[in-house]
Amino acid sequence: MGIIDLDQLEVRLANRTVLNGLTGELRGNAIGLLGPNGAGKSTLINTLLGFHLPSNGTARVFGLDSHRDRGQIRGGIGYMPENDSFIGNMSGVRFVRYMAELAGLPPDVALERAHEALFYVGLGEVRYRKVNSYSLGMKQLIKLAQALAHGPKLLILDEPTNGLDPMARTRMIQLIKDIRKEGSIRLLISSHLLRDIDETCDEVLILKNGQIAALCNIEEERRSNRSFIELETVGATERFSVSIRGLGCECACYPGGRIKLILPDNIEARDLYVIASEQGVQIRRMNQRRDSLEDIFLRAMDNDMERMGNGRLQTQL
Partner 1 sequence: MAVYKHSYSAYTGKVTPAWMRVFVLSRYAFDEAWSSKISIGLLVFCLLPCLTSIVVIYLANNPLAQALVGAKGNQILAIDAAFFLKTLEGQCWLALVLASWIAPRVITFDLADSALPILLSHPISRFGYLFGKFIALFVSLSIVTWIPCLLLFAYEGYSSPIPWVVANLHIAVGLLAGSIIWITLLAFIGLALSSWVKWRVVATGIIFAAVFIPAGVGGIVTAVLRTQWGFLLNLPFMISSLWQRLLGAPAPINPRWSLPTGAIVTMLILACIVCIGMLNKRIRAREVVRG
Contacts with partner 1, residue ranges (CB under 8 A)? 13-14, 16, 42, 46, 49, 51-52, 71-72, 74-75, 77, 79, 81, 83-90, 98-99, 101-106, 109, 113, 115-117, 119-120, 124, 131-132, 143, 146, 148, 150-151, 178-179, 182, 184-185
Min dist. Cβ of residue 56 to partner 1 (A): 18
Q: Which CB atom, from 92 or from 257, has the smaller least distance to partner 1?
A: 92
Rounded to 10°, the helix 107-121/136-148 angle is: 140
Q: Tell me which residue of 165, 172, 154 sits closest to 2, measured CA to CA.
A: 154
Min dist. Cβ of residue 27 to partner 1 (A): 20
> How far is it, in rounded angstroms, from Cα 282 to Cα 231?
10
User: CA 3, 6, 7, 11 torsion: positive or negative?
Assistant: positive
Min dist. Cβ of residue 260 to partner 1 (A): 39
Min dist. Cβ of residue 60 to partner 1 (A): 17
**Are the beta carbons of 286 and 229 closer than 8 angstroms?**
yes
Min dist. Cβ of residue 149 to partner 1 (A): 8
Q: Which CB atom, from 187 or from 204, has the smaller least distance to partner 1?
A: 187
Integer angstrom CA distances of residue 16 from 29, 63, 176: 32, 28, 34
Min dist. Cβ of residue 195 to partner 1 (A): 23
Q: Which CB atom, from 146 or from 191, has the smaller least distance to partner 1?
A: 146
Q: Which CB atom, from 23 or from 132, has the smaller least distance to partner 1?
A: 132
Min dist. Cβ of residue 94 to partner 1 (A): 8
**Separation of first and last alpha carbons in the chain:** 39
Integer angstrom CA distances of residue 257 from 98, 238, 245, 248, 252: 64, 9, 16, 20, 11
Q: Which CB atom, from 79 or from 228, has the smaller least distance to partner 1?
A: 79
Q: Which CB atom, from 131 or from 206, has the smaller least distance to partner 1?
A: 131
Q: Which CB atom, from 126 or from 259, has the smaller least distance to partner 1?
A: 126
Determine how many CB atoms are found less than 10 A away from the CB of residue 154: 19
**If you write DSSP's letter for every residue of 238-256 in order, what string do you get?**
HHHHHHHHHTT-EEEEETT
Rounded to 10°, the helix 107-121/92-102 angle is: 130
